[in-house]
Amino acid sequence: MTRLLKGKRALVTGASRGIGAAIAKAMAAEGAELGLVARNGDALRSLSKELEGTSCQCIEADLSTTAGVREAAEAATRDGKPWHILVNNAGVAHQTPLLKESPEAWDALMAVNLRAPMLLSQALVPGMIKAGEGKIVNISSVAAFIGTPGFGTYAASKAALNQLTRTMAVEWGEHGIQVNAVCPTIIMTDMGRQLWDRPDMEAARKIKQARIPVHRFGTPEEVADVVLFLVGPGSRYVSGTCTPVDGGMLASP
């Protein structure tokens, strides 16, 4: 264990399960002090117990509302200590053809996937500027790069998040703040397994995996490994990138 993040404070949203929990565990193993944000307070406290020996602040908040994001930001910044790392992982998705998409569903998805990362970054970046350093990682998706029928709203939110990432990197780089995005393909979280491990999805799974050169879906830990690099000292000259974590899918003809 190298303890690459010893002395660093890292806030992770959507931390109660899946990719967010894997990221939290990876950073805890490297010595980071954690702030864990999610709607499910019980799940957060369970994760905190699992990370025994790691300093964890559990923040129960609904990031789908402006008030919820501001409550999370207030709880995170109340002690006046700066956060060195912010991972905007919380996200939602739904499958609806564009011609049937409602304004309400569009707004609800954009609120979590795009507005929340912006508002949380606005809240934490002043502390990073004062500290002279900061790392922000936005969890995006390969959907930002391709057209996927039924997921137009989700894809639009992630494409916008990628562009927000680039602009954040340009505006805040002079203050020692690096901003990057990670863009996974299908990742086998608990929710992913519930869908793709079903017998009736076997044919669809084979088609999807055939498009991926490594012929499998990813794991939360594999996404966490990339995030760990981007928040660690080895990435000190990396900023403004939107990195696919897709087993080579985007490179495949």
Distances (CA, A) of 134 to 34, 168, 175, 190, 235: 15, 12, 8, 31, 12
From 8, 154, 206, 237, the catalytic residue: 154
154 a catalytic residue: yes
Whether 237 is catalytic is no
- The DSSP annotation for the chain comes to ---TTTT-EEEEESTTSHHHHHHHHHHHHTT-EEEEEES-HHHHHHHHHHTTTS-EEEEE--TTSHHHHHHHHHHHHTT-PPPSEEEE---------GGG--HHHHHHHHIIIIIHHHHHHHHHHHHHHHHT-EEEEEE--GGGTS--TT-HHHHHHHHHHHHHHHHHHHHHGGGTEEEEEEEE-SB--HHHHHHHTSGGGHHHHHHHHHTSTT-S-B-HHHHHHHHHHHHSGGGTT--S-EEEESTTGGG--
- Catalytic residue positions? 154, 158
